[in-house]
Structures are given as structure tokens and as C-alpha cells.
Amino acid sequence: MSNLHRIRWFDGQVREGSYPNSSMLAQRFEISKRQAQRDIEYLAYSLSAPLLYVAKYRGYCYEDKTYALPLLYMTDEEKKILNYLARRYRQYDYDGATAAKRIADLLDRFTPEAPEAPELRLPVFDMNPRMMDHMERLNAAAAGHAVVTMTYKEGPEAETHAIWPLKLVSRHNCDYVDAYSATRQRQRLFRLDCIVSLTATSARFDPAGLEALEWSGGSGAGTAKKPFTAKLKLGAPADGSTWQGYRVRGFPEPLVAIVEFHDADAFLQQLWIAGDAWEALLAPKWLREKLERTCSGILERLHGTREE
């Protein structure tokens, strides 16, 4: 019998005004009083139940009678899958095994305690040590804003990317890292199982404007993305809440504006034609570098020094 079943019974007894306690729970399900008390603590602390011990009745009631037990129902198939995952995590014996076993203990709390039938056929979830290593390192890189270099092979040829990892996501039964490719100058999803190797470098990226972006599913049609922001030193005070038609989020300093934009190329084009309306592009670094590359390319064309 799972502890969720016991908790559901205990909740029902509280609602009936029976003032249940750990002794009643232990006797009802033939478990130790210590285990019963852990179930009650789980109900109080993990499920936020407003339990109040009433000494007069030596049992519990709810201080707030409007409290509703969170949905704890699981199908038999879901229970089987959790049983399987708990066993796989417990058998994991590579780097990070201690954390994997803690996950197994957590899963055990939500699964039936009866042993699995030997003939049970469950879906296979491959716990690839290399994938787990990639996930852990990319998570750390995203948290520390570290630039990652990686060899990536999704097609016949391997590619080299320098990326700014933002977050890990799962779509269509695959794991991805949502990242900005500094090499290709665009944001995209990279499949973790296509990463051949990766290295977190000592270089750091500026997450401003990028880390808050939501994945747009490739084309972006029908999905709004949060805007980038640029920090501009203006040539003159902005007129109202916009600058050159772009929304101004704020003015951290006199003549310094935080300007929102969605299309980097269109925004840089506006800078070209804005003339003396701005004096300096202060941030973000990636946009400054993009502008510098564009200017360098134009100068090379003017002087005929560009290499083909």
C-alpha cells in the first residue's frame, strides 16, 4: 500500500471529525507508528495541510476546513512507470550516483510497496551516462553564464558551435538545450543526444535580453517572444516613452535608455539611419559585436581589402 493511499484515508478521517493520530494510522494499515508519523508530517509540510493537534481528543483536525487535498491519483500505468524509474535510478552507478539514489528514494514514496510482477513489461528509458553528464554540465554553464564550445552532429557532418546555454527543455520525447549559437548568430534547440563533446570555457556571456526569451518553435509564427533590450547613450532626451519608434523600458541614467527590440537586424538598421540621435551602444555585448562585424565588413568593401 502506498503512502498516498494512507494519506487519502487520513484526510478522510480528519474531515469526518474522527481526530485521527499516528496510532490510528499505524493500526489501520499495519505499519510502524514512526512510519505513520512520517506520513502525517508529509501531509502537513509537503502537501501544506493546515493540521492542528487537539490535545483534548488526542488527534488532528484542520484549522482551515476549506483545505483540499492536492490531486494524488495516479493510474496503474503511471505507478508501473514510477516503479521502473525508481529501480533504474537505484541501480545507477556512475558519476552522480548518490544524487540518483536520492531520486530513487523520492520516487519510492509515490509508488506501490508491493513487489513488481516479474512478467511486467515496461517502456525502456535509457539513462545514458553521457547524456546525464551533458545535462549536468549545461545546467551549470547556464547558471554561471559560461560560453560552451561543442561538437554537434545531427546530420552527416559534425559542426562546431560556441553557444550560450539558456535552459534545458524536453520536446517530443527528446531532451534539448535552448541556446544562442554565437557561431551561427541565432537561437535554436540542440538535441543532447547529438552532442559529441562539449567544453565549458572560462568566457562569460551577457544574458540580458537572451535568458528571458521563450522558444518560438522555429518559425515563431503564432508565438510571441519577449523582447531583447539594448542600453543606449542618447544624443538628446527621448520624446516620451519611445525612441525612434522603439519602446523605452527605463532610463537608468540621464540620456541612457533601455530600449526594447525583437529583430536585431532591423534594430541595427535603425541605428544606421538614426544619425546623431544616439552616441553609444553600451550593451549587450553580442549586439555590439554584431554591429562591429557589420561595420568592419563595410570598411573592408570600401577599401577593397575583404578576403573572398
pLDDT digits (tens, 9 = 90+) for 91-140: 666 666 677 677 777 666 655 554 444 444 444 455 567 777 888 889 88
CB atoms closer than 10 angstroms to residue 120: 9
* Rounded Cα distance, 276 and 294, in Å: 19
CB 164, CB 179: distance < 8 Å: yes
Query: For the whole model, what pTM was predicted?
Result: 0.36
pLDDT digits (tens, 9 = 90+) for 49-66: 899 999 999 999 998 888
**Closest by alpha carbon to 189, among 152, 161, 162, 215?**
215
Give the pLDDT of residue 46.
Answer: 79
Domain boundaries, given as residue ranges, for the chain: 3-62, 129-204, 228-303
Task: Give the model's confidence band at 228: pLDDT under 50 very low, under 70 low, under 90 confident, else very high.
Answer: confident
Strands of the chain, DSSP E: 51-54, 59-62, 146-152, 159-171, 174-181, 186-191, 195-204, 228-234, 242-243, 246-253, 256-261, 278-283
Write the CATH number of the domain with boundaries 3-62.
Answer: 1.10.10.10
Task: Verify cis geometry, omega within 30 degrees of 0, for the bond prior to 237.
Answer: no
Q: What is the DSSP string of 93-128?
A: -STTHHHHHHHHHHHHTTS-SSPPPTT---------
The answer to whether 98 and 59 are in contact (CB under 8 A) is no
Q: Say whether 129-204 and 3-62 share the same fold.
A: no
Question: What tens digit of pLDDT does each residue of 145-185 get?
Answer: 899 999 998 777 888 889 999 888 876 557 888 888 887 77
- Checking if the pLDDT of 285 tops 80, the result is yes
Closest to 21 in 3D by CA, of 30, 5, 33: 33
Architecture of domain 129-204: Roll (2.30)
